[in-house]
Amino acid sequence: MIFNGGMGLGTVALSAIVAADQARASGTLAPRNPHHTAKAKNCIFLLMEGGPSHIDTIDPKPKLGSLHMTKMTRERTRFEANMNTGERYFVKSPFEFHRAGKAGVEINTLFRNFSGVVDDVCFYRGLRAESVNHPTALYHLNTGNQFGGDPALGAWASYGLGTVNQNLPAFVVLPDTAYPQGGAGNWSNGFLPAHYQGTPLRPQGAPVLDMAPPAGVTPDRQKANLDFLTRLNRMHRDRHPAHAELDSRIESYELAFRMQAEMPGVLDLEKEPVKTREMYGIGGSNPDADAFGRRCLMARRLVQAGVRFVQVIAMGWDSHDYIDKAHGARIRSIDQGIAALITDLKRTGLLNETLVVFAGEFGRSPDNGIRRGGQVWGRDHNATAMALWLAGGGVRAGHVAGATDDIGLRAVENVHPIKDLHVTLLHLLGLDDNKLRYFHAGRDKQLSQTGGELIRELIA
């Protein structure tokens, strides 16, 4: 069963989840002071891969009802996908909406559980992306660079703050049944040292293989074997001083040894009360909700154990047709998990120090992207308007910031690019994007690429 066991420790080692004794001594992943007082100590990033439709989830557009199936003409730009070269038609949302929370935020009625926690959430409807291609948009959201190869947000956070628990990776990724488009580049360390790469756990079966040593091998025997291996590796490293990755490999085996003592307990969801597991949808009748709920509960346990940054991925949001069925199924699969995560973080006192982010790589268009007529309409990619929400440490709870136009095509109020979101997230974690730099390829580099500004309306 998922998250009840333990990817091979050799694979873990070679995936750069590192921070052994030498790393601790040199401060590679030791806890560091933030640039300013942090509002959050760690982050859980809920990545909705495929581009959720803001129009059909958290940013309703009733005007589309009167425009439904009338022809739409729009300019072709690099910010808007045009997957249907024929006539285009406005399409209304097939979903109903209601006002939730004290602020009366309008959201899809299928968010039955999430409706109960919206007063802890800040909705932002003014973000703009710069790509309508899934891999490049995902790279942009996750790393600040559309072309990949740069460090992910979680890698930057680990580089700037270190990690609290030296027995666990600083940056953990909980994938869906497959990797998102662009693959592991979405959680890469890029040009940062290998220590900061995200560590993906296996989405099915045991998340980490070979967590326990072979039968008959005692901890003392295993430690002696690792000490001998370390001596051999260091001899090899000394003969090849220009290969910095050798240090990472050496250190990773030490971390793997320490992980055997701590990781099994963190991964064992059976340690949670039955009521807590049920709250997350674990063991319920919806297998997709069960799987996503497990990842959400695992994220809470990981940050509680000292992991700095956890990314939870949910795929399947690329609804070019049958959006009522496709988005409806996706909403039902995440509703219980996201509500439980916020409730549980609040119950355990972790919400004040944990930043929760919910976002996809872009929004969707108000017109029919592939089909027209009947109940089979869908939506195209749209980078000029996207909505997301945040909760937790330092976020302005129970608030709506920004707005899109009356058909949901473009952000028109409190508009910011993705780099400003990155600057804001780092700020909430106590990091200044202009100070968090790394010298590479002849210049200092940063997450925002060229600098950005805070989205102040999101900050309490």
Q: Calculate ∠ Cα 171-314-369, nearest 5°.
A: 135
What local confidence, expressed as pLDDT, does residue 262 receive?
65
> 15-26: per-residue pLDDT in tens?
433 333 434 434
Interatomic CA distance for residues 239 and 203, integer angstroms: 39
Q: Which residues pair with 47 in a beta bridge?
A: 313, 359
Number of residues written out for the chain: 460
> 82-136: per-residue pLDDT in tens?
555 567 889 999 999 999 999 899 999 999 999 999 999 999 999 999 999 999 9
DSSP calls for 192-260: S-GGGS-EEPPSSS-SSTT-SPPTT--HHHHHHHHHHHHHHHHHHHHH-TT-THHHHHHHHHHHHHHHH
Residue 212 has pLDDT above 60, yes or no: yes
The answer to whether 128 touches 405, Cβ cutoff 8 Å, is no
Residue 38 has pLDDT above 70, yes or no: yes
Measure CA 286 to chain center.
Answer: 23
Average pLDDT over residues 391-418: 97
Name which residue leads in pLDDT, 268 or 417.
Answer: 417
Average pLDDT over residues 33-51: 97
Q: For 361, phi and psi rounded to 5 degrees?
A: -85, -20
Residue 3 has pLDDT above 60, yes or no: no
DSSP calls for 401-412: E-EE-TTSSSEE
Rg (alpha carbons) of the chain, rounded to whole number:
22
What local confidence, expressed as pLDDT, does residue 9 receive?
45
Interatomic CA distance for residues 47 and 334, integer angstroms: 11
102 vs 56, 224, 336, CA distance in Å?
Answer: 21, 60, 20
What local confidence, expressed as pLDDT, does residue 79 receive?
59
Residue type at position 291: A
Interatomic CA distance for residues 407 and 206, integer angstroms: 45
Q: Which residues pair with 273 in a beta bridge?
A: none
Query: In the numeric block, which tokens belong to residue 445?
Result: 């580099």
> 235-252: per-residue pLDDT in tens?
877 887 766 666 666 666
Interatomic CA distance for residues 371 and 243, integer angstroms: 54
Query: In the numeric block, which tokens belong to residue 226?
Result: 């690792």
Name which residue leads in pLDDT, 24 or 357.
Answer: 357
What local confidence, expressed as pLDDT, does residue 257 receive?
58
* Confidence label for 174 from pLDDT (cuts 50, 70 and 90): very high
Query: In the numeric block, which tokens belong to residue 372?
Result: 């027209």
Residue 419 has pLDDT above 70, yes or no: yes
Interatomic CA distance for residues 411 and 258, integer angstroms: 48
What local confidence, expressed as pLDDT, does residue 19 receive?
36
Separate counts of helices (H) and strands (E) for the chain: 11, 17
The count of C-alpha atoms lying within 13 angstroms of the C-alpha of 83, restricted to the half-sphere facing its C-beta, is 19
